[in-house]
């Protein structure tokens, strides 16, 4: 539930921009791109970069509903999805990102056949959401933009998974990929004060019982949290992924609100 709540929070953060339009200078696409679909993908990745908990692989999905041209400009109306993927319990999981967000992206058509991004527009949040989508999108697209289908959702997830697969191939890693929240095990019955202290002090470790991975100075590390229920001991251990060499380890006995460090 905690992980799900976090994902909802980050989705809300993106949708709650004070302006419907992301400043053009903050959204970059490669110069000289003549493939409009590639430009759309680049714009989505750039617009979302830095807005979420960073993973190892940034992924996007988009469904172009319609394209409308006006002189030297073309506006793409699309359903989009964005995800940051990282290893949790050995599964390459979407650790942050968005659900389906309708976006209107306008490009300027250059004389050489390439495109330059001129506007990236998002809907507003809450009570303003439906009205802002209707202002952004042509009337014939309102229903699809406001009520994406299950097939749309699966399509976008599959596009994200394609990015994840390509990344795993690049690093020569075989792992399960999940664009959805993966259930985790948590320590139950621990004193709230003790639990909060552990979460704050060891925030770089997983808040669940299990592992997460991080790349630091080109070295992959595993951060592991385990729990001996019979002895009431929580163990935090950081080790190198390739060799298993332990870098740090903490054994902490929990007695009510008290934390007793054993090493």
* Phi, psi of 122, deg, nearest 5: -110, 155
Helix (H) or strand (E) holding 40, with range, is: helix 36-48
Nearest to 37 by CA among 115, 147, 144: 115
Of all helices (H) and strands (E), which one includes residue 154? Answer: helix 150-170
Model pLDDT for residues 188-204, shown as the tens digit of each residue: 999 999 999 999 999 99
Q: Write down the residue that tokens 């959702």 correspond to.
A: 153
- Contact between residue 98 and residue 11 where contact means Cβ atoms under 8 Å apart: yes
Q: What is the pLDDT of residues 203-222, one digit of tens each?
A: 999 999 999 999 999 999 99
DSSP-derived secondary structure letter, 15: H
39 close to 107: Cβ distance less than 8 angstroms: yes
Query: What is the longest distance spanned by two Cα atoms in the chain?
Result: 72
- In this prediction the pTM is 0.88
Residue 16's pLDDT band, with cuts at 50, 70 and 90, is very low
């Amino acid at each position: 539930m905690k992980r799900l709540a976090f994902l909802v929070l980050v989705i809300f953060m993106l949708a709650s921009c004070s302006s419907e339009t992301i400043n053009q200078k903050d959204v970059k696409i490669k110069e000289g791109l003549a493939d409009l679909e590639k430009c759309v993908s680049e714009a989505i990745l750039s617009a979302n970069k830095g807005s979420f908990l960073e993973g190892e692989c940034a992924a996007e999905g988009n469904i172009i509903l319609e394209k409308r041209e006006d002189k030297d400009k073309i506006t793409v109306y699309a359903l989009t999805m964005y995800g940051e993927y990282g290893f949790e319990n050995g599964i390459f999981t979407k650790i942050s990102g968005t659900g389906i967000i309708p976006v209107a992206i306008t490009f300027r058509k250059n004389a050489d056949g390439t495109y330059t991004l001129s506007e990236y527009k998002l809907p507003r949040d809450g009570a303003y959401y439906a009205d802002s989508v209707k202002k952004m999108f042509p009337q014939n697209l309102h229903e699809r933009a406001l009520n994406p289908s299950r097939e749309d959702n699966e399509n976008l997830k599959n596009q994200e998974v394609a990015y994840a697969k390509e990344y795993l191939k690049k690093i020569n890693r075989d792992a399960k990929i999940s664009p959805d929240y993966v259930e985790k095990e948590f320590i139950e019955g621990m004193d709230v004060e003790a639990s909060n202290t552990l979460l704050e002090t060891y925030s770089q470790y997983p808040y669940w019982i299990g592992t997460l991975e991080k790349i630091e100075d080109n070295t992959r590390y595993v951060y592991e949290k385990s729990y001996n229920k019979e002895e009431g001991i929580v163990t935090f251990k950081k080790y190198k992924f390739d060799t298993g060499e332990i870098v740090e380890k903490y054994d902490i006995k929990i007695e009510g609100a008290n934390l007793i460090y054993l090493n």
